[in-house]
C-alpha cells in the first residue's frame, strides 16, 4: 500500500531489520486497555489505522478512547517501501461509511476526530467526496466536534483538494514523510507535488490549518530536514509531527538510524523556533498521535 500520508500505517511494533532496537523503542503493549474500543469499533464495522498498522500507541490511545478512522477500505492502490498496508485493487465504496464513522465518533465520545484513508487511485476523485461526506455526517450530529483529515495526494486534482479544503474540517494534513533525496521510498509520489498538495489546500481555503509529518531514520541529515521544514512553512503549513521510522519487515525499507529521543526534542524545538505553531516530535510520535492537543492548547 502506498500511504505516503500514513506515517501511522508504517510504524508498526514489529521491527525485524538487522539493527537492534534501542531501549527507548521497547514499548509495552497492554491489550486489556484496548478491548473496549476494539469491541465498539467491531460492532460498528469501521476500520482504524491504529489496528491496520498495529500502531505501537494503540494501548495508550484506545485507553483514552482515541482512534484514527481509516475510510475507503483497507487495500491501497500503491506500494510504498515502508508501508505495511495491503496493496491491490480495492472494491467500491461503502455508502454507509460516513454514517458509520459518525456513529463511532458518538460511541467513543470523541471531541476531536482524525480520519484518513488508503490511496485510491482507482477513484476519479481519489476518494475526496467520501472524506467530505464523513465530515458532514459528523458535523450534522454535533457541530462542535473538530475534524482532522489526513489525505492522500488525491492525484493532485485541484477540484478534489478544494472540495476537501472547504468541507468543514478544521485541519487537513498531507504527509511529506521524508526529504526529497529519499523520495524513492514513496512509490508514485513526488516531493514537489506533495508540497503542492499542501499549497493547494491553503490556497483553496486560507483559513484552513494544514499539517504534515516526517518519519525520521531513513537516512536524512539535519540540513536536509531543516530545508524540508522551511519548505512546509513556505506553503503555510504550520502543524507538524516527527517520529521514528520502524521497518514493518525485512522486505521494507531499512532503518538507517535510530534517532535519540533527545534529538527528537531538539528537532521539535527547532521547528517551533522556525515558526511552526504546533509540533509533536518523539520516537513514537505518529501523524495522528494526540492530535486533539492542538485544540486543547488553543
Residues that bind ligand SF4 (CB under 6 A): 8, 49-50, 55, 57-58, 61, 66-68, 286, 288-289
Residue number with CB closer to ligand SF4 (12 or 205): 12
- For residue 201, the minimal CB distance to ligand SF4 (Å) is 21
Minimum CB distance to ligand SF4, residue 15 (Å): 16
- Sign, CA dihedral 211-127-9-82, equals negative
CA distances from 178 to 6, 48, 199, 222, 279 (A): 12, 24, 17, 12, 16
Pairing state between β 209-216 and 112-117 = unpaired
Sign of CA dihedral 60, 65, 67, 72: positive
Give the Cβ contact number of residue 190 at 10 Å.
14
Closest distance to ligand SF4 from the beta carbon of 199 (Å): 25
| Closest listed residue to residue 169, CA positions, set 29, 42, 71 | 71
Looking at the Cβ atoms of 8 and 220, the one nearer to ligand SF4 is: 8
Nearer to ligand SF4, 76 or 161 (CB): 76
- The C-alpha cell at 153 is 495526494
Give the residue with the Cβ less far from ligand SF4, 58 or 171.
58
CB of 192 to ligand SF4, least distance (A): 27
Task: Give the shortest CB-212-to-ligand SF4 separation in angstroms.
Answer: 15
Q: Are strands 209-216 and 47-48 parallel, antiparallel or unpaired?
A: unpaired
Residue whose CB is less far from ligand SF4, 67 or 134: 67
Amino acid at each position: 500500500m502506498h500511504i505516503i500520508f500514513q506515517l501511522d500505517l508504517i510504524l508498526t511494533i514489529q521491527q525485524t531489520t538487522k539493527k537492534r532496537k534501542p531501549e527507548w523503542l521497547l514499548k509495552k503493549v497492554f491489550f486489556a486497555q484496548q478491548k473496549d474500543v476494539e469491541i465498539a469499533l467491531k460492532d460498528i464495522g469501521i476500520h482504524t489505522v491504529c489496528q491496520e498498522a498495529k500502531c505501537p500507541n494503540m494501548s495508550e490511545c484506545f485507553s483514552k478512547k482515541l482512534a484514527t478512522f481509516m475510510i475507503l477500505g483497507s487495500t491501497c492502490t500503491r506500494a510504498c517501501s515502508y508501508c505495511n498496508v495491503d496493496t491491490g485493487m480495492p472494491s467500491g465504496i461503502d455508502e454507509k461509511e460516513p454514517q458509520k464513522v459518525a456513529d463511532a465518533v458518538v460511541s467513543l465520545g470523541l471531541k476531536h476526530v482524525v480520519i484518513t484513508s488508503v490511496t485510491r487511485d482507482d477513484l476519479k476523485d481519489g476518494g475526496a467526496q467520501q472524506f467530505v461526506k464523513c465530515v458532514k455526517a459528523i458535523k450534522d450530529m454535533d457541530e462542535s466536534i473538530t475534524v482532522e483529515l489526513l489525505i492522500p495526494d488525491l492525484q493532485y486534482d485541484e477540484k478534489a483538494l478544494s472540495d476537501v479544503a472547504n468541507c468543514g474540517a478544521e485541519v487537513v494534513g498531507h504527509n511529506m514523510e521524508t526529504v526529497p533525496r529519499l523520495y524513492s521510498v514513496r512509490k508514485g509520489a513526488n516531493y514537489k507535488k506533495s508540497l503542492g498538495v499542501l499549497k493547494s489546500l491553503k490556497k483553496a481555503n486560507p483559513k484552513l490549518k494544514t499539517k504534515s509529518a516526517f518519519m525520521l531514520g531513513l537516512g536524512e541529515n539535519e540540513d536536509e530536514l531543516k530545508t524540508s521544514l522551511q519548505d512546509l512553512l513556505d506553503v503555510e503549513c504550520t502543524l507538524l509531527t516527527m517520529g521514528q521510522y520502524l521497518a514493518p519487515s525485512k522486505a521494507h525499507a531499512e532503518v538507517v538510524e535510530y534517532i535519540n529521543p533527545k534529538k527528537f526534542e531538539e528537532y521539535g524545538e527547532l521547528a517551533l523556533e522556525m515558526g511552526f505553531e504546533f509540533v509533536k516530535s518523539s520516537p513514537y510520535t505518529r501523524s495522528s498521535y494526540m492530535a486533539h492537543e492542538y485544540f486543547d492548547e488553543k
